[in-house]
Amino acid sequence: MNHSENALDQSPVERPAYFAHFVVRTSQYAEMVRWYSIFLNADLVYNDEKLTFLTFDEEHHRLAIVNKPGLVPMTNEHAGIDHVAYSYSSFEGLFRQYEWLKKHDILPHISINHGPTTSLYYKDPDGNQVENQVNNWPDAARPKAYFKTEAFAQNPLGEFFDPDAMSAKILAGSDVTAA
């Protein structure tokens, strides 16, 4: 189904104000709580043997982790959500987080410049994919226009990059914003 922006603008139904949280079920409860606490640099809001709430901002929780013994880890053979993405406000912020995660042996399995974003994809202990990204362009109009180009049609995924090399450039002060 293809909706035009004008059709959405004319809808009488209110859109959500923001994305509030997501919930992960796991049999690797302690490992997942540790991983997401580090990955999100999160505050522990609530924790017992069955449930954890984490947040990284003013929201009461951005992630809930539910302890459910006996679950099978996620594979690419299951239908479902592919990944959840978190945006950083700057290249420096994204790559400082990359270096922080590296110190905790949390490494991306894919590093790609999608055009509109520079993205690092990680897998949590259960195999769920989580993206950290930064917008390459300062406004929303340019990515929307880019999606209509032949360049995007030819390569919608983008270009892979070496995160260590990119991090070194950015943290040394180089301007690497997309053209």
- Could you tell me the CATH number of the domain that includes residue 26? 3.10.180.10
pLDDT tens figures, 26-39: 999 999 999 999 99
Q: Furthest-apart CA pair in the chain: how many Å?
A: 52
Q: Are residues 48 and 102 in the same domain?
A: no
Confidence class for position 92, pLDDT limits 50, 70, 90: very high
Q: Is residue 1 a part of any domain in this protein?
A: no
Whether the per-residue pLDDT at 148 is higher than 90: the answer is yes
H or E segment and range at residue 51: strand 51-55
- From CA 22, how far away is CA 78, in angstroms rounded? 19
pLDDT cut 90: percent of the chain above it = 78
Q: How many domains does the chain have?
A: 2
- From CA 138, how far away is CA 179, in angstroms rounded? 12
**In this structure, what DSSP letter does residue 75 have?**
-
Q: Are residues 108 and 142 in the same domain?
A: yes
Residue with the larger pLDDT of the pair 11 and 156? 156
Q: Is residue 143 a part of any domain in this protein?
A: yes
The SS3 assignment for 135 reads strand
What's the whole-model pTM score? 0.88
Q: Is residue 2 a part of any domain in this protein?
A: no
- From CA 88, how far away is CA 95, in angstroms rounded? 9
Q: What integer is the mean pLDDT of 8-22? A: 84
Closest by CA position to 83, among listed 100, 108, 66, 52: 108
Whether the per-residue pLDDT at 80 is higher than 90: the answer is no
Q: Are residues 111 and 154 in the same domain?
A: yes
pLDDT for 1: 45
Q: Are residues 153 and 86 in the same domain?
A: yes
Q: Which CATH number fits the domain that encloses residue 86?
A: 3.30.720.110
Q: Are residues 92 and 62 in the same domain?
A: no
Q: Are residues 105 and 155 in the same domain?
A: yes
Whether the per-residue pLDDT at 178 is higher than 60: the answer is no
Q: Are residues 173 and 87 in the same domain?
A: yes
Boundary-marking domain end, from 46, 70, 94: 70
Domain housing 66: 19-70
Whether the per-residue pLDDT at 173 is higher than 80: the answer is yes
On whether the CB atoms of residues 167 and 117 are closer than 8 A, the answer is: no
pLDDT tens figures, 36-76: 999 999 999 999 999 999 999 999 999 999 999 999 877 77
Q: Is residue 170 a part of any domain in this protein?
A: yes
Q: Are residues 104 and 40 in the same domain?
A: no
pLDDT tens figures, 94-124: 999 999 999 999 999 999 999 999 999 999 9
